[in-house]
């Protein structure tokens, strides 16, 4: 279920960027959305059970709140800020797991994710707070996590 919800979050980010005239810079969010939904669909087809966890409820409620904020305030920046809060909060367990067991997470994956969003920053047609804020957050979050994983792996492999 989490993969579908992450896809929903990425879709909201993509729509906010697109409606804010981000142009090609929004394609990173669209690709993220499509890949997350593809992973979720493949998981279902392969027979993985959909389980609903407390984290999933949090993601869904706050994602819908982000859409509501955007709709009622007619400003995507508030929606993007809520989605960044959702992503950061939901990322904390992954971060803790990675620090405790650096081999359990792929440093290369997070490096590539940061590179994807970094390169998207050079593709925006119009630079606005709401279109640039999420990619900047993603670059900082994913790149710092990749560096931490890499450093911890080097530290533990020295022993």
Per-residue model confidence as pLDDT tens for the chain (159 residues): 778 888 888 999 999 999 889 999 999 999 999 999 999 899 889 888 777 778 888 888 888 888 888 888 888 888 899 989 888 888 888 899 999 999 999 999 999 999 999 999 999 999 999 899 999 999 999 999 999 999 999 988 765
Q: What is the pLDDT of residue 159?
A: 59
CB 146 within 8 A of CB 107: yes
Gyration radius of the chain's alpha carbons: 16
Q: Among candidates 93, 110, 118, which has minimal Cα distance to 147?
A: 110
Q: Rounded CA gap, 94 and 2, in Å? A: 13
Q: Rounded CA gap, 6 and 82, in Å? A: 14
Q: What is the pLDDT of residue 124?
A: 93
CB burial readout 39-49, b (16+ within 10 A) else e: ebeebeeeeee
pTM for the structure as a whole: 0.84
Contacts of 122 (CB under 8 A, 6+ apart): 25
Dmax over CA atoms of the chain, in Å, equals 56
Q: What is the pLDDT of residue 32?
A: 93
* 8-state DSSP, 24: G
* 8-state DSSP, 46: T
Q: What is the pLDDT of residue 158?
A: 64
């Amino acid at each position: 279920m989490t993969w579908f919800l992450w896809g929903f979050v990425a879709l909201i980010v993509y729509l906010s960027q697109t409606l804010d005239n981000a142009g090609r810079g929004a394609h990173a969010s669209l690709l993220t959305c499509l890949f997350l939904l593809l992973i979720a669909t493949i998981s279902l087809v392969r027979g993985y059970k959909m389980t609903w966890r407390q984290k999933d409820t949090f993601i869904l409620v706050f994602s819908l709140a982000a859409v509501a904020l955007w709709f009622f305030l007619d400003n995507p920046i508030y929606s993007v800020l809520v989605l960044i809060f959702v992503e950061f909060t939901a990322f904390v367990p992954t971060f803790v797991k990675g620090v405790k067991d650096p081999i359990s997470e792929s440093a290369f994956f997070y490096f590539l994710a940061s590179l994807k969003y970094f390169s998207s920053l050079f593709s925006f047609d119009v630079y606005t707070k709401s279109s640039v804020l999420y990619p900047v957050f993603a670059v900082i979050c994913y790149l710092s996590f990749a560096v931490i994983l890499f450093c911890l792996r080097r530290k533990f492999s020295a022993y």
